[in-house]
């Protein structure tokens, strides 16, 4: 009995250490709320990833929280990621081809961005997200190669035909060092 208690106590002490070691590569994870009245077509959500001291490959993900008021089976978003080097802005293009994305759509005269068509419901009508009344989604965007002290500026907007999208609760962006 004492051995079981000692083992349980040791596991309880090690659990926080194990959990934090799994999360140490995550350098940014932030969600922006969307208006309760709906996400307007001209509303762009912005994320500013602080400077990263360590160079390397960073993977980026888009997060969504959607409730049952969302009327469509998919969502089309434009995601632009700008890597900022010492006050110089450079738009990173990805060689990775996401199976749900049409890549390299021009966003302006000097930049490129990713247009993502995200499937929220499968062909059988089942929600692909996790949750009950609000569904959580996470989509891989691509990899960024960062130099020391680079930062990233991300903008996300929808390009659906409807001007105002109901049911989108939050949009998030996360980045972790590979």
Domain coordinates in residue numbering, the chain: 27-177
Distance in angstroms (rounded) separating the CA atoms of residues 160 and 67: 17
* Average pLDDT of span 18-42: 84
Residue 113: pLDDT band (50, 70, 90) is confident
Nearest to 171 by CA among 65, 27, 44: 65
Instruction: Give the pLDDT score at 30.
Output: 98
63: CB partners within 8 A, 6+ apart: 31, 136, 137, 138, 139, 170, 171, 172, 173, 174
Task: Give the model confidence (pLDDT) of 122-139 as tens digits.
Answer: 999 899 999 998 999 999
* Average pLDDT of span 11-39: 75
Full-model pTM: 0.75
Burial 138-151 (b: 16+ CB within 10 A, else e): ebebbbbebeeebb
**Which CATH topology does 27-177 take?**
Jelly Rolls (2.60.120)
Per DSSP, the three-state class of 17 is helix
What is the chain's alpha carbon radius of gyration, rounded to the nearest angstrom?
Answer: 19
Q: What angle do CA 140, 141, 146 make, to 5 degrees?
A: 115
Nearest to 156 by CA among 37, 27, 32, 26: 32
Residue 101: pLDDT band (50, 70, 90) is very low
Quick one: 16 exposed, middle or buried, by C-beta within 10 A (0-12, 13-18, 19+)? Answer: exposed
Q: What angle do CA 97, 101, 103 make, to 5 degrees?
A: 65
Residue 146 DSSP label: E
Which helix (H) or strand (E) segment holds residue 130: the answer is strand 130-131
Question: Cβ distance 156 to 79 under 8 Å?
Answer: yes
Which helix (H) or strand (E) segment holds residue 32: the answer is strand 26-33
């Amino acid at each position: 009995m004492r051995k079981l208690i000692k083992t349980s106590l040791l596991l309880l002490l090690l659990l926080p250490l194990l959990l934090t070691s799994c999360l140490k590569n995550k350098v940014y994870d932030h969600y922006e709320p969307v208006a309760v009245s709906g996400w307007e077509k001209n509303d762009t959500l912005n994320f500013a990833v602080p400077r990263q001291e360590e160079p390397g490959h960073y993977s980026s993900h888009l997060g969504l929280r959607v409730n049952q008021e969302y009327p469509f089976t998919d969502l089309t978003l434009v995601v632009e990621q700008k890597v900022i080097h010492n006050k110089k802005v450079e738009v990173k293009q990805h060689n990775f081809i996401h199976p749900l994305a049409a890549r390299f759509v021009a966003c302006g005269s000097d930049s490129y961005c990713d247009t993502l068509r995200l499937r929220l419901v499968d062909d059988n009508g089942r929600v692909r997200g996790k949750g009950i009344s609000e569904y959580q989604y996470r989509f891989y965007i691509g990899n960024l190669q960062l130099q020391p002290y680079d930062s990233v500026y991300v903008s996300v907007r929808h390009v659906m035909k409807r001007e105002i999208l109901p049911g989108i609760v939050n949009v998030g962006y996360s980045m972790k060092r590979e």
